[in-house]
Structure 1
Amino acid sequence: MTHLTAPDETSADTARRWTLRAATTSYTVEIAESGAWAELSSWGPIGVEDGPSPLAGHGRTPFRTAADAAPAEYLPTGQRPFGGAELDVRRPGGERGCWWSFAGERAGADGELRLAFADEQLGLEAVLCYGTVPGTDVIRRWVELANTGDGDLLIGRLDSAAVNVAVPGGARLTYLVGQWVQEFQLEQIDLARGGFAIGSTQGVSGQDYAPWMAVQDASDPDGPTTPTWGVALAWSGSWHIDAQVDAGRLLRLRVGREPHEGEVLLPAGATLATPQVLLAFSPQGLGGLARVWHAHERLESRPRSLRPRPVLYNSWEATGFDVEQDGQLELARIAASIGAELFVVDDGWFSDRPDDTAGLGDWEPDPAAFPDGFGAFVDKVRGLGLGFGLWVEPEAVSPGSRLLAEHPDWIYAVEGRPATLIRNQLVLDLGRDEVRAHVLAWLRKLLTDHPISYLKWDMNRPPTERGRPGDPLPRAADLDAAHVANYHHILSTLRREHPDVLIEGCAGGGGRADAAAVAATDVVWPSDNTGPQDRLSIQHGFLHAHAPHVMSSWVTDSAGYFDTRPRSLRFRFVTAMAGALGIGADIRKWTPTERDEAAEWIARYKRWRETLHQGEVHLLGAPRDATSGVQYSAPDGSHEIVLAWNSGTLKGLPLLPGRPDRLRLGGLDPAARYREEASGVEYGAVHLMSVGLPCPWRPDFDADAVVLRRC
């Protein structure tokens, strides 16, 4: 439950203040003296609120308004004309701008803080909403807007929050960039003054950037004791994060969704809630901030987060679209023999799908591929002791499909304009109620007719002609918001009605891995690139924002499609074990020796799975280093698991004199001792943290998984 102090109302001149307390973090908000906005007083470890605000300005603000210089939590354009506002609203045919004042505290559920501001002339009320996530250091923020007038309002910008951090030495921003097959690359920029922006206009969170950012003072290099603030937007559509450092060295992040139409219509009497922004703080650098996000994701989705993620085999890289009963069963038998627990048939299982040019929208199993019937095929897979999973792409439709012929108005389109094909497909207007009902109906039937335990939901292209023929402009429907809402409605319905079915989120790889999508699914697919060397940097970035139990990772053939650098089977398994282990190789071509080795790694993973998914994570180095790793601390403190990789040169070892590389561990009790499970060698915790765990690499030993038991 949110711990919320009462406002200080000891005198009429005293500013009203509220403090939210999370596990170890406090966040204090106060109403400005003018009564025209709320501003951040402090945000950091509990106790930081005990003293004058480090964010408060002083002195005059020539050529700017007081609001432009203030650490305001949320302001409209009328009151913040120069520094960038979070809300831009007008009446149709009227001037832009809103001028509001504090209208009091509103009752909130479960200790939420709700601060209302009203512009009676415009007819708008905005409620700034705050809450905590119990047991974590995450603060939730969002805004609820209500049209209290008798005419329509047009909203051109509707951010969820402004986030303020004092950065005396300038801001160091850490963010995640990429493109298809190179998602989640960790990047940093130092911003002494001026602006920086990232975002997506693709209708999904996108591969180019993740809706996540971390902030540090640039004069304090990242380390284990560097104060670090973070934001993540829980929104599965278009979005932006804008950063601005002003002359007073105040960093302001404006975070929100990006309306496709440019202006969202808010009719008289209507209300609208913005997506939630998650705010996190850690005094332990980027690694500490990652652990805050991990704790949040585990707690938010319990009890589902505690379910073991099965070792899956996916047949895509072995067979592609050539899906047929006998070949799939051969793969399933081999997968079961090495210890897989789940068999997933990817694209190509449905009728009229020889390649990516047809078939989407008509989701019936191909009778030619399954001559004994699809149900009989599923039963044979399950008879091997495997769960059964299936790939689907509910938002897409092929031009020649029966569905499109029967419902040509169900796709996004601009009347009188040609439709753009990407990947030979179009996108359904999922925001339509009838489309949502259709998609939900066939998915329900699929899960009811067959004992499916795993569903891989993919989305392989963004919408282009984002129109809805017949709707007058300004359009009453908010297309981006409607699509996102119905995507989440379908997911929540399926999870409620089929609680034993695990759902994987995918969008051309990692194109929809925002906080909301992660919360609505059980695992996500970070990238279509399964090459182990490339995967190290993809997974390194991903683990800064998301927990390992949601990171699906496969062992595939070497060399692969995208990363052609050969790597040992050991390296590939240790890489994939860093998250939810899967196999996607053509295991028919593996030798008996390779299958035996795979079975050994899978058995180890099953023994270690709880710690790998639920343990506290320490990221050791980075993939650009010759040696890097990930440390997982068991929840009960009984052991540590260290996954380590040699991704650089061997420096002549072992043929020349030298010393092994070492990985310095983190988070250990300095008084503890540990015994390496395989070798029996004992280490003191201080030794492991200051000198490090030795990694004796050689050409045939390029990765390792070490278990350290506390003595």
Structure 2
Amino acid sequence: MWTIAGASTEYTVAAADDRVDLVAWGPVGVSDGPSPFAFHGKVQYMLPGDVAAVEYAPDGVRPFLGADLAVAGHALTWRLDSVSSEDGLAATFVDEVTGLRVVTHWRFAPGTDVVERWAVVHNDGAAPVSLTRLGSAGFNVPTPGGASLSYLCGQWAQEFTPAVTRLARGRFEIGSAQGVTGHQFAPYLAVSTEDGVYGVALAWTGSWQITADADAAGLTRVRVGRALDGAPVTLAPGESVTTPVAAGAYSADGLDGLARVWHAYQRVSARLDRTPKVIYNSWEATTFDVTAAGQLALADVAASLGVETFVVDDGWFVGRHDDYGGLGDWTPDPAKFPDGFGAFVSEVRARGLEFGLWVEPEMVNPRSALYAAHPDWVYQADGRPRSTIRNQYLLNLGRPEVHEFVLSTLDSLLSSYPISYLKWDFNRPRTEADRTVADLDGAHVRNLYRILDHLRAAHPDVTIEGCAAGGARVDLAMAARTDVLWPSDNTAPLDRLRIQDGFLSAYAPHLMSSWVTDSTGLFDERPRSLAFRFVLASAGVLGIGADITKWSPAERAEAAAWVARYKEVRDVITRGVVHRIGGPGSARCAVQYSLGDRVVVLAWNAGGLDGLDRVPGRAVRLPLRDLDPAARYRAGDAVYSGSHLMAVGLPVRWTATHDADLIALRLA
């Protein structure tokens, strides 16, 4: 039996025949007693691996209730060869028939309560082996009363919608077959029990799958890993493949406590020593109609508001007058920048602004010089028509020459101009792929990671924003390689409030890029004030995306005040411990951020806006968390005890003209 420990939790496994089974997972000391996964009685009509809390199983060991690894031609079995306890745990399994050697790994990320798991599959045999299933891990949860599964679903403009499914018996599955994380589901699942909540997530930006199986004996086993989309991964003799990292987390404090575990984990790879800059993005103001004069007019106003980085979005390069052309030809358009692009960038910077640029480097338009020169670079299946989405094709980034083109293009842009912010977009999934080519999905994703890793190392001062037609590329791997992520193209206030609430249940605020715009709702059209929009966008990394040249002097003055207030508290928001209070569907809707003795509360009225005071009413109370009950906290002119703020709550009163607030509290 082996135990590894995190910050406050532990994970214990034991060898059982030719398996490694989970013994206990929970707070430190949970393994000191009988395992909740031990079963008694005779196994009927199945194999022991089907009812055991097995950590990683081939289909020959777990043939009926869901295996993690399978090969073409026959059921795979193996023997447990060795277990090493250096740097976490590693168990080696060997199959004499195929020559496969599989090493499964466990470790806690330093200082966190997230256990990372992955497998490395080696072909030590004399013949190729085709893997038809390639999971990263199986996570076991004791659910004698059935499982309550929480997940995040949606579509474009409605990402990260929380949903709950009760699974008494059977199978539940989410995933993506699009070659990208996808809008439909986030690679995240939580299993709630009477004794705590267990979460799993995947660090993979291609096709993926999370499957929960609840059996008759009170066990829910969650399988996490890549989805191979009907295209096996074939290993030649001597080759190996490493699965993506599957991460598991436990919290005794419910789903909100689980969110804090994930936030702490994501901060391990974050560059939190860099202050997140307030950005302006020109997309909603100008779309493709980019000119030097028009952008500089926006930059003038942005600078007056206190914006720190000005980002030119789509439309800056040759051939890009609409979404029918230009992608792939990443040369600044001399007609749009008659004095030269370098001179334009210098003009932006002369206004006291850093400069950022939008790119979509994995895409190409049929009407572009790149496609004319290299039509074979796009995904295609021989003899099949190619489909366009948003009038564009997807480049096969797994090809060495495409990888080199994208890498050199971005390197050249970042080296030629003083660019400090790069917004990397991805506006269509993969549709055509030649399944006779080995591991297209894996090759594309691995080269994406290679480029992002290179950019971070070669251009360390550049902030990278991950975007994919909104939130279609949000996962642990992107969270570790970018500085911010774009949750959705929907910036309307009440729609966005719901999206951001779901986002924060799995991803940290330092990752959440959010803009103030003038957009109206797609799903909830009720109007909200400019203050509401600023408080909402301040819940992560603040940006502005409206046509600010059309804002009135009063609106600009209010915006400048909000930008200044955000700058005073952004370190607390992006680095603090998060407690969500209520939600968009309740009278209480707020987020509390705590860092040291500083507390910031962002609150919104997500309900009605009568505010007429013609009938009796009382203030909405926001119960805060984890304060010192004996201390006194000041918010403006008001002073409260910590006990009062936790037991009774911080009072807020909404009116027709006051529908949101940012409240900073300090020790009195």
Are residues 652 and 435 of structure 1, via their aligned partners in 2, closer, same or farther at CA, if it must alter by over 3 Å?
Answer: closer
- Distance in 1 (alpha carbons) for counterparts of 2:196 and 2:135: 26
Q: CA deviation at 1:503?
A: 0.3
Look up the match of 2:14.
30
The aligned runs of 1:240-389 (5 Å cut-off) are 240-301=209-270, 304-389=271-356
The aligned runs of 1:556-567 (5 Å cut-off) are 556-559=517-520, 564-567=525-528
Look up the match of 2:157.
181
- Distance in 1 (alpha carbons) for counterparts of 2:33 and 2:558: 60
Q: CA deviation at 1:564?
A: 3.7
Aligned to 2:105, which of 129, 145, 149? 129
CA deviations over 1:490-513 (Å, ceiling 9, x no partner): 011111000000000000100000
Residue 545 of structure 1 aligns to a residue in which SS?
coil
Look up the match of 2:76.
98
- Distance in 1 (alpha carbons) for counterparts of 2:521 and 2:102: 52
Q: CA deviation at 1:560?
A: 5.9
> Does the CA-based 8 Å contact 1:166-1:250 persist in structure 2?
yes
Look up the match of 2:651.
694
> Does the CA-based 8 Å contact 1:529-1:563 persist in structure 2?
no
1:591 is the counterpart of 2:569: no
> Does the CA-based 8 Å contact 1:663-1:692 persist in structure 2?
yes
The aligned runs of 1:99-248 (5 Å cut-off) are 99-106=77-84, 108=86, 111-217=87-193, 220=194, 227-248=196-217
Look up the match of 2:62.
80
Look up the match of 1:41.
23
- Distance in 1 (alpha carbons) for counterparts of 2:161 and 2:611: 30
> Does the CA-based 8 Å contact 1:626-1:649 persist in structure 2?
no
The ranges of structure 1 where at least 4 consecutive aligned residues each deviate by more than 6 angstroms after the TM superposition are none
> Does the CA-based 8 Å contact 1:55-1:250 persist in structure 2?
yes
Q: Which letter does structure 2 place at the counterpart of 1:439?
A: V
Look up the match of 1:704.
661
Aligned to 1:649, which of 586, 589, 608? 608
Residue 505 of structure 2 aligns to a residue in which SS?
helix
CA deviations over 1:205-234 (Å, ceiling 9, x no partner): 1000000011112xx4xxxxx611111100
Q: Which runs of 5+ in 2 are unaligned?
A: none
Residue 277 of structure 2 aligns to a residue in which SS?
coil
1:497 is the counterpart of 2:458: yes
> Does the CA-based 8 Å contact 1:241-1:253 persist in structure 2?
yes
Normalised by the size of structure 2, how large is the TM-score? 0.98
Normalised by the size of structure 1, how large is the TM-score? 0.92
CA deviations over 1:623-662 (Å, ceiling 9, x no partner): 011330000012x2x2211000001125765222111111
Q: CA deviation at 1:80?
A: 1.1
Q: CA deviation at 1:251?
A: 0.4
> Does the CA-based 8 Å contact 1:558-1:565 persist in structure 2?
no
Residue 651 of structure 2 aligns to a residue in which SS?
strand
Q: Which letter does structure 2 place at the counterpart of 1:625?
A: S
- Distance in 1 (alpha carbons) for counterparts of 2:6 and 2:395: 41
Q: CA deviation at 1:88?
A: 0.7
The aligned runs of 1:599-618 (5 Å cut-off) are 599-618=560-579
Are residues 408 and 652 of structure 1, via their aligned partners in 2, closer, same or farther at CA, if it must alter by over 3 Å?
Answer: closer
CA RMSD of aligned residues (A): 1.3
Q: Which letter does structure 1 place at the counterpart of 2:467?
A: C
Residue 305 of structure 1 aligns to a residue in which SS?
coil
> Does the CA-based 8 Å contact 1:558-1:564 persist in structure 2?
no
Residue 335 of structure 1 aligns to a residue in which SS?
helix
CA deviations over 1:366-385 (Å, ceiling 9, x no partner): 11110111000000000000
Q: CA deviation at 1:346?
A: 0.4
Look up the match of 1:11.
none
Q: CA deviation at 1:259?
A: 1.4
The aligned runs of 1:623-662 (5 Å cut-off) are 623-634=584-595, 636=596, 638-650=597-609, 654-662=613-621
Residue 390 of structure 1 aligns to a residue in which SS?
strand
> Does the CA-based 8 Å contact 1:280-1:292 persist in structure 2?
yes
- Distance in 2 (alpha carbons) for counterparts of 1:555 and 1:651: 24
- Distance in 1 (alpha carbons) for counterparts of 2:217 and 2:644: 44
> Does the CA-based 8 Å contact 1:555-1:584 persist in structure 2?
yes
Q: CA deviation at 1:299?
A: 1.7
Residue 81 of structure 2 aligns to a residue in which SS?
strand
- Distance in 2 (alpha carbons) for counterparts of 1:650 and 1:429: 50
Look up the match of 1:395.
362
Q: Which letter does structure 2 place at the counterpart of 1:433?
A: P
- Distance in 2 (alpha carbons) for counterparts of 1:650 and 1:508: 32
Look up the match of 2:401.
434
Q: Which letter does structure 1 place at the counterpart of 2:70?
A: D
Q: Which letter does structure 2 place at the counterpart of 1:157?
A: R
Q: CA deviation at 1:105?
A: 1.9
> Does the CA-based 8 Å contact 1:558-1:566 persist in structure 2?
no
- Distance in 1 (alpha carbons) for counterparts of 2:100 and 2:62: 17
Residue 164 of structure 2 aligns to a residue in which SS?
strand
Q: How many residues get paired?
A: 668
Look up the match of 1:663.
622
- Distance in 1 (alpha carbons) for counterparts of 2:259 and 2:521: 30
Are residues 389 and 560 of structure 1, via their aligned partners in 2, closer, same or farther at CA, if it must alter by over 3 Å?
Answer: farther
Are residues 68 and 560 of structure 1, via their aligned partners in 2, closer, same or farther at CA, if it must alter by over 3 Å?
Answer: closer
Residue 306 of structure 1 aligns to a residue in which SS?
coil
- Distance in 2 (alpha carbons) for counterparts of 1:653 and 1:173: 41
Q: CA deviation at 1:562?
A: 6.9
Q: Which letter does structure 1 place at the counterpart of 2:647?
A: S
Q: Which letter does structure 1 place at the counterpart of 2:561?
A: E
Q: CA deviation at 1:558?
A: 4.8
Look up the match of 1:683.
640
> Does the CA-based 8 Å contact 1:299-1:305 persist in structure 2?
no
Q: CA deviation at 1:107?
A: 7.0
The aligned runs of 1:509-588 (5 Å cut-off) are 509-559=470-520, 564-588=525-549
CA deviations over 1:214-261 (Å, ceiling 9, x no partner): 1112xx4xxxxx611111100000000001110011000011001134
Q: Which moved more, 1:664-673 or 1:233-242?
A: 664-673
Q: Which runs of 5+ in 1 are unaligned?
A: 1-16, 221-225
CA deviations over 1:594-621 (Å, ceiling 9, x no partner): 1000000000100101001101000001
Residue 268 of structure 2 aligns to a residue in which SS?
helix
CA deviations over 1:285-335 (Å, ceiling 9, x no partner): 11111111111111223xx13311110000100011000010100000000
Q: CA deviation at 1:671?
A: 2.4
Q: CA deviation at 1:532?
A: 1.1
> Does the CA-based 8 Å contact 2:92-2:103 persist in structure 1?
yes
Residue 211 of structure 1 aligns to a residue in which SS?
strand
Are residues 611 and 232 of structure 1, via their aligned partners in 2, closer, same or farther at CA, if it must alter by over 3 Å?
Answer: same
Residue 269 of structure 1 aligns to a residue in which SS?
coil
